[in-house]
Structure 1
Amino acid sequence: MFLLGFISNDLLGFLISQSGFILSMAVMVGLTLIAFIMLSIFAFGSSPKIFLLDFACYKPPSSLACTKEMVIERLRRHGNFTDESLKFMKKLMKTSGLGEATYLSEGLLREPLDMSMEATRKEAEMVVFGAVDELLGKTGVKGEEIGIVVVHSSIFNTVPSLASMIVNRYKLGKNVLSYNLSGMGCSAGLLSIGLAKDLLKVHRNSYALVVTTEIITQGCYMGNNPSKLIGNCCFRMGGAAVFLSNRPSDRSSSKYQLIHTVHTNTASSDCSYNCIIQEKDHEGHVGITINKDLLVVVSEIIKSNVATLAPLILPTSERLLYLINYLIRYFHVSSIEPYVPNVKRAVDHFFPHVGAKPILDEVARNLRMSERQMEASRMTLYRFGNTSSSSVWYELAYAEAKGRIKRGDRVWQIAYGSGFKCSSAFWKAIRTIDREKMNPWSDVIDEFPVMDPQSTETFPYAFESSKSK
């Protein structure tokens, strides 16, 4: 009787009229659940537990803070933008969900603009070293104890790599495993967590340092193609460093245990592949094209990612209903509507990549999330802008600064980006997190949440369609 409360009237009527079929399905369900439990026990027993010791989000100095009007004025003075492009960017920025104290790099605030390799490298060093220095200070981990380094930055690629830059700066050991990921978009921060997790399964008694950022100095688009202007309006300076450990002795001092990572990739679809792509315009200016297919692609890949994650985290009742519905549709009645699992029943805190306001609106609609559940993401977009793959860590820092993370809480981070890819990380809080001084929100957290007076205005999403469907 407990399950009947979750089943629609149409589905209930069908179940009653098809009792023989249901009996055979029940046997199949039972066998499937037994197999699932056995596999889960085997997987649990064969792999070490992965803990998140701590993390740090880089907070730039106040001298790099800028209002939206300051950004437009700098582009007006130093770019080759037409009045139409400037007007379009001003409207984009007004409705983007960003506030009046996000951060640009030193190079983009200089007179004139400095987008040189030297200025870009300086931004990378500020962000990466700033985040790692803070993380080392919080945890007390020594450089020689770090066995794995995974670094991600999509656009900025340098020689030596950012991973080598970290190895050199902190004098890591000769046997350190270092990986430098590039060009993988805003989902790569959580994908890096998945890679570090897999490495920690093999290399016992190790620390993995994961650093994720987007270096924006060379990413400023200086042309007039509308589909490439959004990057100038939403992306801001930021980055995060995360320590993972597989040492059982670190459990009591860690914040979270990593339960699952799930990665979805739809790059085989031309529509997905082309919805975010770096290319030159007709005048030779390099920029990131974002077209109208983006919202559709985001919606579809999130559904796919959730469909993979849900069976791993949902309560037994939800899993059973999902499985029964699937089997009935597959073997007997395809016209019955798919059962959409209530993921919210398995999650205490939800942190989606911030993207821009229309992306967050689409995520909230698709997953039926309340404004309370979307608070951390909307406030992160407002305070720090789109910091690409590191945004989910600023969101988690927001929840910690608010004192909302309690022992046993379940935390879901999900990020999506070019390719098109989607990654989820599902954590369980090992302890209650008290307010900390070393948190990018510490000095302003009591001022949040805020209501953006322009949040209800329409985002001018007038971009070109993809080249191929």
Structure 2
Amino acid sequence: MVLFLTILSFIHLLYLLYIIINFLDSKRHQKCYLLDYQLYKPSDDRKLSTEFCGEVIKRAKNLGLNEYKFLLKAIVSSGIGEETYAPRMVFEGREENPTYQDAIIEMEELFEYTIGRLLRRTGISPLEIDVLVVNISMLACMPSLSSRIVNRYKMREDIKTYNLCGMGCSASLVSLNVVESIFKSKKNQLAMVVTSESLTPNWYIGNDRSMILSNCLFRSGGCAMILTNKPSLAQKCMLRLNCLVRTHHGAKDEAYGCCIQTEDEQGRVGFHLGKNLPKSATRAFVDNLKVLAPKILPIRELLRFSILSVTLKMLQNSQKKSSGSPRPMINFKTGVDHFCLHTGGKAVIDTVAQSLGLSEYDVEPARMTLHRFGNTSASSVWYVLGYMEAKKRLKKGDKLFMISFGAGFKCNSCLWEVVRDLEGVENVWKECKIEDYPPQTIINPFMEKYGWIQDEDINTFKIPE
């Protein structure tokens, strides 16, 4: 009997040990790593110079003097330089009459540049990819873009594909969340994410100011990346995803309608950017940080902020001070080393920087990305990451905060941890002579050529020849 009980206890112990090992192993496989990524750099013949931008605006048939002046003023204050890229049909003068094939060619050029180079550099075969997620918000085709990639690179029959449309500038973090969720239920996976935007079929040809603005803000760009949860590849990876938070204010009509594809009064389709966009973005940003902050900041910082907030509220109640008194700010730098901000525009970068109390050093990558590549929609945060990598800022153990905004209205953010020192190998920023960034003085060519119109009386304003 004693021997039987001993054997039984031993079996129970082995079973408990098996459960513990299995639990730890499953946790180990649930981690999401960024193995490598490849940014898209179009050819130099697609760069938008100051003069060419003026020509594109002048040949728009439906613009009056007011709209012409408005667009030039928008470009002047956008923070965008002269080396950003546009689709080929713009340089061919066909932006008002693009074809379906133009849109497909735009995507195929992106796929060939990013996916092809990424696979060659990592040595991973297309047959090894288990999951493929493609997010191109403003182009839906049949077969889907994900199917086109599967066909082009002859991927496996059992590959799991996801094709995301309409997710806006925050789509790449939505794609990350899809991959992260799959990794929690499947071991030893390799996932590819392709993120970009289709500008070709979405050029607005009307004169509604809230819609023509998108023509001068968005630029060509994209990124392909490979993610994995294989423990055997952990040391070869670049980043590990620690947490990801998604905030969606689509239930609020004001937020839902501030950034939307619609028709103008003449029935011409365009992308409307409403005046209440900054307000909606701020609300989504605040709600997102409320969830994210406890996940990424040390307890001492959370306690400091809580004590200051309660103390200030008590003082206001006792002294009957106005609610407009300065509020204490959370110091995100206590839990974050680098900030990867969405390059939605100069105002977006300034607002986020002010809200988080960031220095010029912190926002330099975002400002330089906006200046060099413009707003490339969902891929913009990856160009910011590429700048940091090329500048050799990212060291093992550093924490990287990534945040983006998108139609819906959405605010998505995540925290990465650097797995190894990153030195920007095969980075498009190196081709841009990263040593020249940031320039001592950023020359705004649009300001030099068109800045004078800001004070010009519209009654005497004439389109320059």
**TM-score, normalisation: structure 2:** 0.84
Q: Judge which range, 378-387 or 292-301, deviates more.
A: 292-301
Q: Give the CA deviation at 1:201.
A: 1.3
Does residue 430 in structure 1 map to residue 413 in structure 2? no
Aligned partner of 2:66 among 84, 105, 113? 84
Letter in 2 for 1:273: Y
Question: Hey, what does 1:452 align to over in structure 2?
Answer: 442
Q: Give the CA deviation at 1:80.
A: 2.5
Whole-Å separation in 1 of the counterparts to 2:242 and 2:26: 10
The alignment yields a C-alpha RMSD, in angstroms, of 2.6
Letter in 2 for 1:344: K
Alignment map for 1:5-16 (pairs within 5 Å): none
Question: Hey, what does 1:7 align to over in structure 2?
Answer: none
Please, which runs of 5 or more residues in structure 2 have no aligned partner?
A: 1-22, 318-322, 455-465
Question: Hey, what does 2:91 align to over in structure 1?
Answer: 109
Alignment map for 1:178-257 (pairs within 5 Å): 178-257=161-240
Question: Hey, what does 1:397 align to over in structure 2?
Answer: 386
Does residue 55 in structure 1 map to residue 37 in structure 2? yes
Q: Judge which range, 210-219 or 73-82, deviates more.
A: 73-82
Whole-Å separation in 2 of the counterparts to 1:406 and 1:46: 23
Aligned partner of 1:262 among 245, 249, 263? 245
Does residue 407 in structure 1 map to residue 390 in structure 2? no
Whole-Å separation in 2 of the counterparts to 1:122 and 1:110: 14
Cα distance change, pair 167–44 in 1 and its aligned pair in 2 (3 A):
closer
Q: Judge which range, 205-214 or 315-324, deviates more.
A: 315-324
Question: Hey, what does 1:344 align to over in structure 2?
Answer: 333
Whole-Å separation in 2 of the counterparts to 1:172 and 1:328: 60
Aligned-partner SS, 1:73: helix
Aligned-partner SS, 2:361: coil
Aligned partner of 1:99 among 74, 77, 81? 81
Whole-Å separation in 1 of the counterparts to 2:28 and 2:236: 23
Aligned-partner SS, 1:295: helix
**TM-score, normalisation: structure 1:** 0.84
Question: Hey, what does 1:359 align to over in structure 2?
Answer: 348
Cα distance change, pair 43–350 in 1 and its aligned pair in 2 (3 A):
farther
Does the 8 Å contact 2:397/2:418 carry over to 1? yes
Whole-Å separation in 1 of the counterparts to 2:316 and 2:296: 26
Cα distance change, pair 50–112 in 1 and its aligned pair in 2 (3 A):
closer
Question: Hey, what does 1:420 align to over in structure 2?
Answer: 409
Aligned-partner SS, 1:63: helix
Question: Hey, what does 1:466 align to over in structure 2?
Answer: none
Q: Cα deviation per residue 1:191-212 (whole Å; 9 max; x = unaligned)?
A: 1111111111112111010111
Aligned-partner SS, 2:226: strand
Aligned-partner SS, 1:103: coil
Q: Give the CA deviation at 1:87.
A: 1.5
Q: Give the CA deviation at 1:69.
A: 3.1
Q: Judge which range, 128-137 or 208-217, deviates more.
A: 128-137
Aligned-partner SS, 1:251: helix
Identity of aligned residues (%): 36
Aligned partner of 1:149 among 122, 132, 146? 132
Does the 8 Å contact 2:29/2:231 carry over to 1? no
Letter in 2 for 1:447: D
Does the 8 Å contact 1:190/1:423 carry over to 2? yes
Cα distance change, pair 333–108 in 1 and its aligned pair in 2 (3 A):
same
Does the 8 Å contact 2:263/2:270 carry over to 1? yes
Does residue 307 in structure 1 map to residue 293 in structure 2? no
Which one has a bigger Cα radius of gyration? 2
Does the 8 Å contact 2:138/2:166 carry over to 1? yes
Question: Hey, what does 2:462 align to over in structure 1?
Answer: none
Letter in 1 for 2:244: T
Q: Cα deviation per residue 1:298-336 (whole Å; 9 max; x = unaligned)?
A: 122111111111101101201334556788999x99959
Q: Cα deviation per residue 1:132-184 (whole Å; 9 max; x = unaligned)?
A: 11211221111111001111011111111111111111111111110011111
Does the 8 Å contact 1:78/1:112 carry over to 2? no
Whole-Å separation in 2 of the counterparts to 1:349 and 1:325: 25
Aligned-partner SS, 1:223: coil
Please, which runs of 5 or more residues in structure 1 have no aligned partner?
A: 1-40, 461-469
Q: Cα deviation per residue 1:63-95 (whole Å; 9 max; x = unaligned)?
A: 111113312312322542222212111110111
Question: Hey, what does 2:146 align to over in structure 1?
Answer: 163
Whole-Å separation in 1 of the counterparts to 2:226 and 2:316: 47
Whole-Å separation in 2 of the counterparts to 1:396 and 1:246: 21
Whole-Å separation in 2 of the counterparts to 1:333 and 1:420: 36
Whole-Å separation in 2 of the counterparts to 1:101 and 1:115: 23
Q: Give the CA deviation at 1:45.
A: 4.1
Cα distance change, pair 438–326 in 1 and its aligned pair in 2 (3 A):
closer
Whole-Å separation in 1 of the counterparts to 2:52 and 2:218: 15
Cα distance change, pair 440–116 in 1 and its aligned pair in 2 (3 A):
farther
Whole-Å separation in 2 of the counterparts to 1:80 and 1:121: 27
Cα distance change, pair 179–89 in 1 and its aligned pair in 2 (3 A):
same
